Amino acid sequence: SRQSASPGGRWALSRPPPPTAPRTRGAPPPRSPCPAACRREENSGHVTRKRDFVDVGVSDAGRRAGCRGEVKSEGPKLVPFFKATCVYFVLWLPSSSPSWVSALIKCLPIFCLWLFLLAHGLGFLLTHPSATRIFVGLVFSALGDAFLIWQDQGYFVHGLLMFAVTHMLYASAFGMRPLALRTGLVMAVLSGLCYALLYPGLSGAFTYLVGVYVALISFMGWRAMAGLRLVGAAWRWTELAAGSGALLFIISDLTIALNKFCFPVPYSRALIMSTYYAAQMLIALSAVESREPVEDYRLSKAN
């Protein structure tokens, strides 16, 4: 290196200027990467992602609004069911004197749920096998209610078998997809605990019949709650209705079993019938947006 004097009289090292690339005449000078440009690119990507998020949120909100509209539109069709349920609780016929009149009043709300599904048209039932299975399940439920009116005369087992068929039909209507093994495991553990609670009070054929019935209603509850999705675009109110209805059905039947085989349950009749009618109404409601299991599974995978 060489030394040169500065105007102030101090000595400093001078380095040769860095080499520059040759420029072509008329060509624009090279531009260094601009941080502002980078920020613009990042911001543009962020806006795109935010726009996608907003679009998904809007579609989800629209879906929920549509679901609320569907629930509201189904309300008038359920008015006869609510009136029939009120008739049952107002008359409150004594269970100690069973008759065809008391059987009719007890089954009347279920008859109204038949009409509720038929109000959607025979074409709806014929083109949706799952809705048809729920309708047939309601028919067997009415038969089970009639048999249980005379349970003290030896018809309790007949009612138990009718409701066992009902649970098989409901489980078939809910389908096997998605499988939801964790939900099935939880239901299996709970059903085992319930049977262990009932077992000391069981004797004879009831030891096996109640065990099979507990397995069937737990299986129905598993299939009802397997497709339940509370968040996301795949959320459907009919799945929530099916899961809630199955849970209430389990509570109603467990109360019957405890009251019959273990110990008297306070206000058992009011608890049994209120949860039972609510369960049947919710399961019937789950059929109005009926889809076949394979189609429903593909829809959930697409979403």
3-class secondary-structure state, position 12:
strand
**Terminal C-alpha separation, the chain:** 71
The per-residue pLDDT for 50 is 41
Question: In the Cβ-directed half-sphere of 169, how many Cα atoms lie within 13 Å?
Answer: 21
Q: What is the pLDDT of residue 29?
A: 53
Phi, psi angle pair for 177, to nearest 5°: -130, 135
Bridge partners of 4, per DSSP, are: 12
d(CA 115, CA 84): 12
Q: Among 109, 229, 221, 237, which residue's Cα sits nearest to residue 171?
A: 221
Residue-wise pLDDT tens digits, 139-166:
999 999 999 999 989 999 999 999 999 9
pLDDT at 236: 80
In tens, the pLDDT along 187-235 reads 999 999 999 999 999 999 999 999 999 999 999 999 999 988 766 656 6
User: Of 18 and 127, which is predicted with more confidence?
Assistant: 127
Q: Is 279 exposed, middle or buried (0-12, 13-18, 19+ CB in 10 A)?
A: buried
pLDDT in tens, 78-134: 999 999 999 999 999 988 889 999 999 999 999 999 999 999 988 999 999 999 999
CA separation for the pair 43, 55 (Å, rounded): 18
Domain boundaries, the chain: 75-291
Q: How far apart are CA 135 and CA 111, in angstroms?
A: 10
Give bridge partners of residue 3 from the DSSP assignment. Answer: 13
pLDDT of residue 16: 55
**pLDDT, tens digit, for every residue of 35-58?**
444 444 444 444 344 444 334 343
Q: What is the pLDDT of residue 228?
A: 83
Q: What is the mean pLDDT of residues 282-295?
A: 72
Express as a percent the part of the chain with pLDDT over 90: 61
Peptide bond between residue 98 and the one before it cis (omega within 30 degrees of 0): no
DSSP, collapsed to helix, strand or coil, labels residue 32 as coil
- Candidates 278, 282, 261, 280; CA nearest to 270 is 278
How high is the pLDDT of residue 277? 98
Token digits for 299?
A: 């829809």
For position 22, what pLDDT does the model report? 53
